């Protein structure tokens, strides 16, 4: 895709993100991505921009983080001719799981992935909607890294750069966020 076209599309998408003040608690300016999915035109545009970023990287599995990573993750997997793997909260996956614990703004949390969902041959794209402090995605990255896959890419639709979630990841991690917002 031509860089000027991509830049214009990203600007259109950025304008469609809805800001919800004081959600989920007072003082937070929540970036609502659901407005990117509510028309066929914006969903198609978002899908194209996301997929074009990874089209020639040999992705074999797209891993989506519960719950908003379940929206674009399967679309990206389909377009990349890859499988889709969910990362879920404890107690939601029926087979044997690996688990990773991490700190959130409001306490400790855990995520899980099926033990048989990835292999050493896989090239993995981990997707979620938003990078803020980075705890959930960093836990997902660490869990998948322990599974011994060939390569891991990390992707977000939105990044809140001032919260510096990117700093959790080693410098060699290929981390992409389509849209950046200031707080």
Q: Which CB contacts under 8 angstroms, 24+ apart, belong to 74-78?
A: 75/47, 75/50, 75/51, 76/47, 76/50, 76/51, 76/125, 76/127
pLDDT per residue as tens digits for the range 70-128? 999 999 999 999 999 999 999 999 999 999 999 877 789 999 999 999 999 999 999 99
| pLDDT of 54 | 98
Residues 6+ apart with CB under 8 A from 113: 63, 85, 86, 87, 88, 93, 97, 98, 140, 143, 144, 147
Domain span including residue 28:
3-181
| pLDDT of 89 | 96
Q: Which residues are catalytic?
A: 68, 101
| pLDDT of 85 | 98
Provide the domain count of the chain.
Answer: 1
| pLDDT of 107 | 83
CATH of the domain at 71: 3.40.50.2020
| pLDDT of 30 | 92
């Amino acid at each position: 895709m031509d860089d000027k076209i991509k830049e214009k599309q990203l600007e259109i998408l950025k304008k469609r993100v809805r800001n919800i003040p004081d959600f989920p608690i007072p003082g937070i300016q929540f970036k609502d991505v659901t407005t990117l999915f509510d028309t066929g035109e914006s969903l198609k545009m978002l899908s194209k921009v996301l997929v074009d970023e990874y089209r020639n990287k040999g992705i074999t599995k797209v891993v989506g983080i519960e719950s908003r990573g379940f929206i674009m993750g399967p679309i990206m997997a389909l377009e990349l001719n890859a499988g889709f793997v969910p990362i879920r909260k404890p107690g939601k996956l029926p087979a044997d799981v690996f688990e990773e614990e991490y700190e959130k703004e409001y306490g400790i949390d855990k995520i899980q992935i099926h033990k048989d969902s990835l292999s050493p041959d896989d090239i993995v794209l981990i997707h979620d909607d938003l990078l803020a402090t980075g705890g959930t995605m960093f836990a997902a990255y660490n869990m998948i890294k322990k599974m011994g896959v060939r390569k891991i890419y990390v992707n977000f639709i939105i990044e809140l750069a001032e919260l510096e979630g990117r700093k959790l990841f080693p410098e060699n991690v290929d981390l992409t966020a389509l849209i950046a917002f200031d707080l």
